[in-house]
Chain A
Amino acid sequence: QVQLVQSGAEVKKPGASVKVSCEASGYTFLRYYIHWVRQAPGQGLEWMGEINPTGGATTYAERFQGRLTMTTDTSTGTVYMDLSSLRSEDTAVYYCARVCCGGSYGEFDYWGQGTLVTVSS
């Protein structure tokens, strides 16, 4: 069965970076784009960006440009999300999600369990 398993919770200081992993299994890794979505405490869902596991092409939301990097390790079927220059407003649960049916555009049919990132001095 399709699974996206994310790394564990992180606590970081302002100005630091965090790297969250998302390990995919149960399907052909290279065929499906992965997106990242975050959710601040008590708030809604915010789209961050996407990566094509084939070739590694990325698209980031404008507000994260310069701070966000997504990469893949095709040997392990893992996608990484690296967010730098952390501030308190980045405290959130970060989710990876798979796009249905190949291609960049589509509904998110499988989600990781979420990773809580807390930014605090």
Chain B
Amino acid sequence: EIVLTQSPGTLSLSPGERATLSCRASQSVPSSDLAWYQQKPGQAPRLLIYGASSRAAGIPERFSGSKSGTDFTLTISRLEPEDFAVYYCQQYRSSPRTFGQGTKVEIK
């Protein structure tokens, strides 16, 4: 089972600031098969990024993803008020599919 470890657990930032979220895999994730999801309270997760770096349909350009070895990064270039939420990474090439434990981006 591929374990995904997200850091930090909580990120306290102000609107307009840059957010950098990390997701480290316990082993290689084949074919960059990693996604990022955003979840707001009381809502289902929403797909942001797939294939480690491709934005899903309708996702603003301020969201970007990257990969370096077994480390994955989600960057929000300038935080908008609607971006304060919990973010999860997920690998979807290996079974069981696994999620990171989440990073909460909160208003400072």
Contact = CB atoms under 8 A, between A and B. Distances in A.
Nearest to A4: B44
A108 B98 CA distance: 12
Interface in B76-108: 88, 90, 92-93, 95-102
A106 B31 CA distance: 11
Contacts, number: 55
B35 interface: yes
A82 B98 CA distance: 21
A46 interface: yes
A97 B37 CA distance: 12
Contact of B44 (A35, A99, A112): A112
Given A47-B97, A47-B98, A47-B99, A95 B44 contact: yes
Nearest to A59: B95
A62 B96 CA distance: 8
A77 to B, nearest CB: 19
Interface of B: 33, 35, 37, 44-47, 50-51, 56, 88, 90, 92-93, 95-102
3 tightest Cβ-Cβ pairs between the two chains A and B: A107-B50, A111-B44, A107-B35
Interface of A: 35, 37, 44-47, 59, 61-62, 95, 97, 99-100, 105-109, 111-114
26 contacts: A44-B88, A44-B99, A44-B100, A44-B101, A44-B102, A45-B37, A45-B45, A45-B99, A45-B102, A46-B99, A47-B97, A59-B95, A61-B96, A105-B92, A106-B50, A106-B92, A107-B47, A107-B50, A107-B92, A108-B35, A108-B90, A108-B92, A109-B50, A111-B44, A111-B46, A114-B44
